[in-house]
Amino acid sequence: MKKIGYKIAITFIVSLLFTSCAAFTDNSYHVSSPDGMLKFEVYTSQGQLYYKVNDGETEVFQESKLGLKFKNHSPLGEKLEVISSSNQSNNTTWEQPWGEKRLIEDRYEELLLELQETNGDNKKLNLRVRVYNDGFGFRYEVPEQAGISELIITDEITEFKLPTVDKAWWTAIYSEEYYEAITQFTPVNEMDTVCLPLTIETQSGKYLAIHEANLTNYAAMNLYCADSSTLSCDLTPWSTGEKVFTNVPFVSPWRMVIVADKPGDLITSYLELNLNEPCKIEDTSWIETGKYIGIWWGMHNGTYTWHMGEKHGATTKNTKMYIDFAAKHNFKGVLVEGWNYGWGNDWTKEGDKFQFTTPYPDFDIEYLSDYALKKGVRLIGHHETGGATQNYEQQMEEAFAMYNKLGIRSVKTGYVGSRLNGKERHSSQYGIRHFRKVIECAAKYQISIDNHEPAMPSGLRRTYPNLLSQEGVRGQEYNAWSPDGGNKPEHLTIIPFTRGLAGPIDFTPGIFNFENPVNPGTRVQTTIAKQLALYVVIYSPVQMAADLIENYEGNPALKFIEDVPVNWDITKVLDAKIGDFITVVRKDRDSNEWYLGSITDENSRFITVDLDFLDKDTNYRAEIYRDGDDASWESNPTAIKIETSTVTKTDQLMFRLATSGGVAVRFVPIMD
Ligand code: NOJ
d(CA 467, CA 281) in angstroms, rounded, equals: 11
251 ligand 1 Cβ < 6 A: no
Among 497, 392, 409, 408, which Cα is nearest to 453's?
392
Q: Which helix (H) or strand (E) holds 555?
A: none
Position 345 confidence tier, pLDDT thresholds 50, 70, 90: confident
d(CA 383, CA 168) in angstroms, rounded, equals: 35
* Mean pLDDT, residues 445-454 taken together: 98
Distances (CA, A) of 303 to 232, 516, 547: 46, 10, 12
* Mean pLDDT, residues 346-374 taken together: 91
Among 424, 511, 385, which Cα is nearest to 237's?
424
Lowest mean pLDDT among 173-187, 239-253, 337-351, 506-520: 337-351
CA 519 – ligand 1 centroid, Å: 17
d(CA 163, CA 160) in angstroms, rounded, equals: 10
CA 116 – ligand 1 centroid, Å: 49
Give the angle 442-565-293 at the CA atoms, nearest 5°. 60
Domain 474-672 top-level CATH class: alpha beta
Mutate which of 292, 299, 337 for ligand 1 pocket (most atoms within 8 A of beta carbon): 337
How is domain 8-274 classified at the CATH fold level? Answer: Beta-galactosidase; Chain A, domain 5 (2.70.98)
Residue 374 has pLDDT above 70, yes or no: yes
The predicted pLDDT at position 175 comes to: 87
296 ligand 1 Cβ < 6 A: yes
d(CA 641, CA 221) in angstroms, rounded, equals: 46
Residue 647 has pLDDT above 70, yes or no: yes
Average pLDDT, rounded, for the chain: 95
CA 474 – ligand 1 centroid, Å: 11
180 ligand 1 Cβ < 6 A: no
Question: SS3 of 156, please?
Answer: strand
CA 329 – ligand 1 centroid, Å: 24
Residue 490 has pLDDT above 60, yes or no: yes
CA 414 – ligand 1 centroid, Å: 6
Backbone angles phi, psi at 653, to 5 degrees: -120, 145
Instruction: For 524-536, write each residue's pLDDT tens digit.
Output: 999 999 999 999 9
298 ligand 1 Cβ < 6 A: no
CA 483 – ligand 1 centroid, Å: 17
Is the CA virtual torsion 523, 526, 532, 535 positive or negative? negative
Residue 671 has pLDDT above 80, yes or no: yes
Residue 7 has pLDDT above 80, yes or no: no
Ligand 1 atom nearest 347 alpha carbon: 10
Position 4 confidence tier, pLDDT thresholds 50, 70, 90: very low
**640: CB partners within 8 A, 6+ apart:** 527, 528, 529, 557, 625, 626, 627, 628, 631
Identify the active-site residue in 159, 477, 490, 623. 477
* Mean pLDDT, residues 109-137 taken together: 96
The residue whose CA is least distant from atom 10 of ligand 1 is 384
Confirm whether 384 is a catalytic residue. no
Q: Are strands 230-235 and 103-117 parallel, antiparallel or unpaired?
A: unpaired
477 ligand 1 Cβ < 6 A: yes
d(CA 223, CA 172) in angstroms, rounded, equals: 10
Q: What is the DSSP string of 88-143?
A: EEEEEEEE-SSSS-SEEEEEEEEEEEEEEESSTT--EEEEEEEEETTEEEEEEEE-
CA 509 – ligand 1 centroid, Å: 14
Mutate which of 384, 506, 544 for ligand 1 pocket (most atoms within 8 A of beta carbon): 384
Residue 452 has pLDDT above 60, yes or no: yes
61 strand-pairing partners: 53
* Mean pLDDT, residues 222-231 taken together: 96
d(CA 123, CA 147) in angstroms, rounded, equals: 9
Residue 5 has pLDDT above 60, yes or no: no
**72: CB partners within 8 A, 6+ apart:** 150, 151, 152
d(CA 481, CA 478) in angstroms, rounded, equals: 6
The residue whose CA is least distant from atom 8 of ligand 1 is 414
* Mean pLDDT, residues 560-582 taken together: 98
d(CA 105, CA 445) in angstroms, rounded, equals: 31
d(CA 449, CA 151) in angstroms, rounded, equals: 32
Distances (CA, A) of 169 to 200, 224, 531, 571: 6, 13, 23, 23
Ligand 1 atom nearest 296 alpha carbon: 7
Angle formed by the axes of helices 365-374 and 316-328, nearest 10° = 10
Angle formed by the axes of helices 389-405 and 429-444, nearest 10° = 20
* Mean pLDDT, residues 468-482 taken together: 98
The residue whose CA is least distant from atom 2 of ligand 1 is 452
452 ligand 1 Cβ < 6 A: yes
588 ligand 1 Cβ < 6 A: no
Lowest mean pLDDT among 292-296, 338-342, 515-519: 515-519
Residue 37 has pLDDT above 50, yes or no: yes
106 ligand 1 Cβ < 6 A: no
Asked whether the domain spanning 474-672 has the same topology as the one spanning 8-274, the reply is no
Q: Are strands 230-235 and 159-161 parallel, antiparallel or unpaired?
A: antiparallel
**157: CB partners within 8 A, 6+ apart:** 65, 66, 67, 68, 69, 75, 77, 233
Ligand 1 atom nearest 471 alpha carbon: 3
Residue 23 has pLDDT above 60, yes or no: no
* Mean pLDDT, residues 274-287 taken together: 98
Backbone angles phi, psi at 461, to 5 degrees: -60, -25
CA 382 – ligand 1 centroid, Å: 10
Q: What is the DSSP string of 572-637?
A: EEEEEETTTEEEEEEEESSSS-EEEEEEE-SS-EEEEEE-TTSPTT--EEEEEEEE-TT-BTTTBT
489 ligand 1 Cβ < 6 A: no
The residues spanned by each domain of the chain are 8-274, 474-672
d(CA 439, CA 465) in angstroms, rounded, equals: 9
315 strand-pairing partners: none
